[in-house]
Amino acid sequence: MVEQDKTIKEYSKIEAAISVLTDQYAKVADVSTEKGLVACKKDYREIRKYEIDLDKKRKDLGAAARDHLKLINSEAATIDGKLKKISAPHKEASENREKEIEEQETARVKGIRERIDGLQTFIAEAHETDSAGVSGIIEAVDLIDCTEGFDEFTAEALRERGGVIKKLGEVLQGKVQAESAERERLAAEESQRKAEEAQAKAEKDREIDQRINNLNMMPMSFIGKSVADITEKLNSLAVYVIPEEEFGDRYQDAQAARDTVMSHLVTMKDQAQLVEDAEAERGERVEATDIVEPEVEINEVLESCAESAIAEETGSESKFTILPNEETEATSLQDEIAGWANRFGVSDEAVKSLMVIVDAAVTA
């Protein structure tokens, strides 16, 4: 191949003038003087003529070159179109295959990455189970063979599996500690619950004991009571239904206590009946014989109370006598006591106390 001349002959004259211009205008005129400034500007204009001539030739040559280049490109495009018709099937087949290979490689790498990343799911699963479950997961992860099917990612898969097993060990330790603490908490709660139940049962037993004891002591409150009072209580006890849910396993004891109390009250009622019958018979005899001993007894009680009141109020002993033949009705006695109190200066409180005794004695 013959090497082409790379010089442009149209530029040769200008190129030849370069050496002359270089020598002619090597020194720049002194512009500090007017004459020198004029000379400097003149030199510039002379040199500039060559620059303008060069640019004109460049444009002329460029226009011709552009037309030629346009022809070149057009012809080349026509030929290229014919070539592409021939090469297109080959290009399409090769590109499709390369795309298929790339997609297969992408899928392969993606599958391996998903298997490696999937090892992390065992950690999330471990957080949702107990210590026994975590132990099973650790065994399962340890059995995963990372030397097969991971290709160039085998080392990474082995490191990931080791890291997951380590993390699972930490989760297992936390689970064991948490479960131990939970067992202790539940044991403490159970112990507390049993203690509270025992305390509640003890309090309930004491309450039941007290209720049964109160029931057993009931007859004591009916000593000296009338047959009517005792009979009313017996009737009340007879219809009273002991609540089994309140007495629990002491229900039979409560039933037995009520039966015993009713038996005692029946005996007491019979005794009270005897007393009331005797008092009624005695009253009939008193009315028949006009016995006055009770009145004398009442007078003696009143006299003693009055003397005590005088001594308490005045600090001196005085005799207070009620004549046996005087009226012993409450109203006449109260009038007499009021007059006596006025004479001796006895306080109103002492008089009130004495009046109570008078009412009780006369009523009896």
Helix (H) or strand (E) holding 364: none
* Residues listed for the chain: 364
Report, as an integer, the average pLDDT of 156-174.
94
The band of 345, judged by pLDDT with boundaries at 50, 70 and 90, is: low
Residue 319 domain boundaries? 293-363
Q: Which of 206, 233, 268 is the last residue of a domain?
A: 206
Q: Are residues 20 and 93 in the same domain?
A: yes
Report, as an integer, the average pLDDT of 60-69.
86
pLDDT reading at 219 higher than 80:
yes
- Please check whether residue 136 lies inside any domain of the structure: yes
- Please check whether residue 130 lies inside any domain of the structure: yes
- Please check whether residue 116 lies inside any domain of the structure: no
Q: Are residues 136 and 60 in the same domain?
A: no
pLDDT at 300: 55
Mean pLDDT value across the chain: 82
pLDDT at 320: 55
- Please check whether residue 117 lies inside any domain of the structure: no
Q: Are residues 76 and 139 in the same domain?
A: no
pLDDT reading at 310 higher than 70:
no
pLDDT reading at 127 higher than 80:
yes
200-204, 248-252, 331-335: least confidently modelled range: 331-335
Report, as an integer, the average pLDDT of 306-314.
54
pLDDT at 305: 53
Report, as an integer, the average pLDDT of 250-271.
92
Q: Are residues 64 and 18 in the same domain?
A: yes
Q: Are residues 129 and 176 in the same domain?
A: yes
Q: Are 164 and 119 in contact (CB under 8 A)?
A: yes
**pTM across the whole model:** 0.41
Q: What percentage of the chain carries pLDDT values higher than 90?
A: 46
Q: Which of 238, 259, 289 is the last residue of a domain?
A: 289
Q: Are residues 151 and 171 in the same domain?
A: yes
Q: Are residues 183 and 257 in the same domain?
A: no
Q: What percentage of the chain carries pLDDT values higher than 70?
A: 77
Q: Are residues 18 and 92 in the same domain?
A: yes
Q: Are residues 270 and 338 in the same domain?
A: no
For the chain, the domain total comes to 4
The band of 315, judged by pLDDT with boundaries at 50, 70 and 90, is: low
- Please check whether residue 213 lies inside any domain of the structure: no
pLDDT at 154: 93
pLDDT at 180: 94
80: left (phi over 0), alpha (psi -120 to 50) or beta: alpha
pLDDT at 223: 86
pLDDT: is 31 or 354 the higher one? 31
- Please check whether residue 168 lies inside any domain of the structure: yes
315: left (phi over 0), alpha (psi -120 to 50) or beta: left
The crossing angle, in degrees rounded to 10, of helices 12-24 and 34-118 is: 120
- Please check whether residue 113 lies inside any domain of the structure: no
pLDDT reading at 312 higher than 90:
no
Q: Which residue stretches of the chain are H helix?
A: 12-24, 34-118, 121-127, 131-142, 154-217, 227-239, 244-247, 251-289, 293-314, 330-344, 348-363
pLDDT reading at 364 higher than 50:
no
Q: Are residues 282 and 302 in the same domain?
A: no
Q: Are residues 84 and 136 in the same domain?
A: no
pLDDT reading at 314 higher than 90:
no
The band of 224, judged by pLDDT with boundaries at 50, 70 and 90, is: confident
Q: Are residues 94 and 135 in the same domain?
A: no
Q: State pLDDT tens for residues 81-111.
A: 888 888 888 889 999 999 999 999 999 999 9
- Please check whether residue 104 lies inside any domain of the structure: no
